[in-house]
Amino acid sequence: MFRQVFGEPQGLPDPEGGTALIVSVPTAQAAQRTGRDVGDLYVPGRMVTGPDGQRLGCHGLSKF
């Protein structure tokens, strides 16, 4: 058994008024753990997949 641990996000800019960032869930979680305001972070919604299971897109964005 193993456990994956993520460190602090690197290269994530500070929040800026009027700007939204689309990031992965692990990035948003790491940002939150460091105490960063996550009000500008959005994560992909439910994935849309093709007949062969390939990812085609997502159903909108979710505010983290």
Q: What is the pLDDT of residues 10-62, one digit of tens each?
A: 899 999 999 999 999 999 999 999 999 999 999 999 999 999 999 999 999 99
> Into how many domains does the chain fold?
1
**Would you state the torsion angle of the CA atoms of residues 53, 23, 19, 12, taken in this order, to the nearest 10 degrees?**
-150
Tell me whether residue 54 is in a domain.
yes
Its domain, for residue 47, covers: 21-63
On whether the pTM is more than 0.75, the answer is yes
pLDDT of 6 above 90: no
pLDDT category, 64, cuts 50, 70, 90? confident
CB 13 within 8 A of CB 37: no
Tell me whether residue 4 is in a domain.
no
Tell me whether residue 10 is in a domain.
no
Q: Which helix (H) or strand (E) holds 14?
A: none
Tell me whether residue 32 is in a domain.
yes
